[in-house]
Amino acid sequence: MSFENIKWIWKNGEIIPWADATVHVSAHGLHYGSGVFEGIRCYETATGPAVFRLKEHLERFFESAAVYNFVIPYTLEELTDAVCELISANEFKSCYIRPIAFLGSKSLGVFPGSCPTEVSIMAWSWSAYLGAEGLEKGVRITVSPWRKFHSSMLPTTAKACGQYLNSLLAVSDALERGFDEAILLDVNGRLAEGSGENLFVIKDGVITTNSATDSILMGITRDAAIEIARTLGYAVETKPLELDDLLNADEAFFTGTAAEITPIREVDDRVIGAGKRGEVTEKIQNTFFDAVSGRDERFLEWLHPVKRFVTA
């Protein structure tokens, strides 16, 4: 990840220079994590840059804000245009996009009162989150000693800033112990998700993933992987997953905007299947990349072409 090539940021309704996109130290969101965000990718296609499932991501952005009683002072259509304007201004062919809404400066009581909602959008070049080698050969993960919080503690289906401290703890521990990523169990000891990814396991040709009742964020790439798998003729089941389901799987993979479709080859040094990207995972992964690049016409509705704006 590098911010070196970013010239412009969208902040509170206008495109401004990167250096001017500042936040006051008294912002409520800085002190309490009172914000929501999205992760979205734009891919290069033969007809220009296109954003993957932009509408669905922005809908979840608004839904997350509503859970925390934030009012985003822009419409979905306005933010759609803002994303495209920002990509155009930075002259990106492909990029990662980060809309964020957080409570600004007015009060520092835990109850935010009349703190204003600030809205910004960043875009930058970000290659494979778990590495290009991870996409091809699979990643090594560990079961985290940290548990994923239950929906009775925090709303697991909202993508809120402060909630990711849970993920920070898990992935920091995993990296310190030499692994690529962590998998978190829920409060009942069942599989939840990675620090920023949903989980799929494959056994005897059947693909299984868990659901919102298992303390996971309902990923948009997760949903795409399910649709791709079914289109390819695979059976997909949704049910709670035990750790043994992962350890005894023929194949397993992560999904997420950042991680895309990343195979899992080991869990705590225990080899999964053949210890490499499996055949089913590879077919889903290849179809996914064909879809996001516009090469597979079956999924063109997932792509939002970037309008070209007159830039500053």
Closest to 138 measured CA to CA, from 255, 275, 301:
275
8 A C-beta contact, residue 180 and residue 130: yes
Rounded to the nearest 5°, which phi and psi values hold at 12? 50, 45
Amino acid, single-letter form, for residue 145:
P
**Beta-strand runs (E) in 127-268:** 139-143, 181-185, 191-194, 198-203, 206-209, 235-238, 251-256, 260-267
Cα 115 to Cα 108: distance, rounded to the nearest angstrom: 9
Closest to 199 measured CA to CA, from 184, 188, 177:
184
From the number of C-beta atoms within 10 Å of its C-beta (0-12, 13-18, 19+), residue 219 rates as buried
Cα 269 to Cα 310: distance, rounded to the nearest angstrom: 52
- Contacts of 105 by beta carbon, 8 Å cutoff, 6+ apart: 24, 26, 27, 28, 115, 116
8 A C-beta contact, residue 94 and residue 123: no
What secondary structure does DSSP assign to 44-101, as a single string? EETTEEEEETHHHHHHHHHHHHHHTT---SS-HHHHHHHHHHHHHHTT-SSEEEEEEE
Print burial letters for 33-44: b (CB count within 10 Å at least 16), e (below 16).
Answer: ebbbbbbbbbbe
Catalytic site residue from 159, 203, 239, 283: 159
Cα 171 to Cα 248: distance, rounded to the nearest angstrom: 23
Residue 159 known to be catalytic: yes
117 DSSP β-pair partners:
103
Instruction: Please list the active-site residues.
Output: 159
